[in-house]
Amino acid sequence: MFPFPVVIEVKSRLGSVLLRLEDALSAAEAEGQVSKTFKADLVAAVPRLRRYALARSQNAAEADDLVQTTLMRAWENRSGFVPGTNLIAWLFTILRNTFINQRKRLRREVEDIDGAFAATLSLEPEQEHRVGLIELQAALNSLTAEHRETLLLVMVDGLLYEEAAAVLGCQPGTVKSRVSRARERLALAMGAA
């Protein structure tokens, strides 16, 4: 089907993972956590897993990553394997599910080799804007409660002087006076800040 080497290069990433796995399996076998057949069958399954991964992914590097992930998950879930059942089917199921989950994740990703897409997502620095907002909030807080409330009703909420007077229970002239004084004090506070 696909030409694929049976020999695993010891210096490759998959080779180093396989060596570490063999060491861990030997230690687990010595402690009675796994059987000798589990260890032997798991290591012997690697070439078949590589062929299956390559058939699924069509990419050698991705196939090796899939095999590594499969081996790591098999190791992590070794207690979930029922002795006497089909180890190859269990491993192929892990590999297949890993491949499907990776493909689902990749569908949501955008390939952006040259960074053109990422450049469109950049924002201008917001530090100066935030500093200005902090200064404005401090200046508003320095106003009396009456002046601040009146200024916000007219300038932020967009009420007419008469409407703000009705809300505050005072005359429209009082609202005009408070807004004027609040603007002056706000301008002084902002100039001094």
CA atoms 159, 161, 167, 168: torsion sign: positive
Q: Would 40 be classed as within a structural domain?
A: yes
- In this structure, is residue 29 part of a structural domain? yes
Per-residue pLDDT at 7 exceeds 60: no
Residues 78 and 142 in one domain: no
User: pTM for the whole thing?
Assistant: 0.51
What pLDDT does residue 140 have? 86
Could you tell me if residue 120 is inside a domain?
no
pLDDT at 118 > cutoff 70: yes
Cβ atoms within 10 A of the Cβ of 79, count? 7
Q: Rounded to an integer, what distance in angstroms lies between the CA atom of residue 89 and that of residue 86?
A: 5
Domain that holds residue 136: 129-192
CATH number reported for the structural domain that contains residue 160 in this entry: 1.10.10.10
The amino acid present at 167, given as its one-letter code, is V
Instruction: Annotate 115-159 with DSSP letters as a single string.
Output: SHHHHHT-----HHHHHHHHHHHHHHHHS-HHHHHHHIIIIIS--
In a shared domain, residues 96 and 151: no
pLDDT in tens, 35-60: 788 878 888 888 889 888 888 888 88
Contact 34, 78 (CB under 8 A): yes
Lowest mean pLDDT among 63-67, 133-137, 168-172: 133-137
